[in-house]
Chain A
Amino acid sequence: QSVLTQPPSVSGAPGQRVTISCSGSSSNIGSTYDVHWYQQLPGTAPKLLIYGNNNRPSGVPDRFYGSKSGTSASLAITGLQAEDEADYYCQSYDTSLRGVIFGGGTKLTVL
């Protein structure tokens, strides 16, 4: 059971907007530590998608948007494309566990 809670799955039609939530607590997301998001395409290594809550690495389309509020964070994907079908993970740091933590992952299906 992951410290950060994500929905197991979300889906949307091409062109639509979807959001993936990541719920934590005061010892992780609710503390001073940022939230980061990763995209894992089938059979490949995870790739950093959003860092520092809402920053995109070079090459990541602006269709991907991250936000953080209180003890939760969200990843929004607009203009869904078939190539966005993947697993998405949130990540932060937990002061009680003194370690990096991940959400359980969310499988995005593009209908």
Chain B
Amino acid sequence: QVQLVQSGAEVKKPGASVKVSCKASGYRFTSYGISWVRQAPGQGLEWMGWISAYSGNTNYAQILQGRVTMTTDTSTSTAYMEVRSLRSDDTAVYYCSRGTGSGAYGLDPWGQGTLVIVSS
């Protein structure tokens, strides 16, 4: 079955970077893109950006421009998302999800989520 499995929880200090992985299985990785979505404690869903697994083209949310980088490794069907210059308000559960650049057809499935805590 189609599945996305993410890396484990991270605790980082302010100013540091974090890189989360998302390993896909059960479908042709390069036929879809990967969106990243985060959810701060008790808050709603925030789209962070999207990467095409076929071309590597990216589209980042304006609020994160310059601090986030999304990449893929087609040899291992894995997507990566890195956030730099972490702040306390980056504390959230980070999700990856399969989808198109516009989110057409919806985002499906979702990874299990990776908790990132930013604290001094």
A contacts, CB < 8 Å to B: 2, 33-34, 36, 38, 45-48, 50-52, 57, 89, 91-93, 97-105
Contacts and interface: CB of A to CB of B under 8 A. Distances in A.
Contact of A46 (B46, B49, B50, B95): B95
Given A45-B95, A45-B112, A89-B44, A100 B103 contact: yes
Given A45-B112, A46-B95, A100-B102, A36 B107 contact: yes
A34 B99 CA distance: 14
Closest 5 CB pairs of A and B: A51-B106, A36-B106, A48-B108, A100-B103, A100-B47
Contact of B106 (A2, A48, A97, A104): A48
Interface residues of B, number: 25
B47 A52 contact: no
29 contacts: A2-B44, A33-B104, A36-B105, A38-B107, A45-B95, A45-B112, A45-B113, A46-B45, A46-B95, A46-B97, A46-B110, A47-B109, A47-B110, A48-B106, A48-B108, A57-B106, A91-B106, A93-B103, A93-B104, A98-B59, A99-B47, A99-B61, A99-B62, A100-B103, A101-B47, A102-B37, A102-B44, A103-B44, A105-B45
Interface in B33-82: 35, 37, 44-47, 49-50, 59, 61-62
A39 B111 CA distance: 14
Interface of B: 35, 37, 44-47, 49-50, 59, 61-62, 95, 97, 102-113
B80 to A, nearest CB: 18
Contacts of A34: 104-105
A36 B103 contact: yes
Contact of B108 (A2, A57, A89, A103): A57
B10 to A, nearest CB: 17
Contacts of A48: 106-109
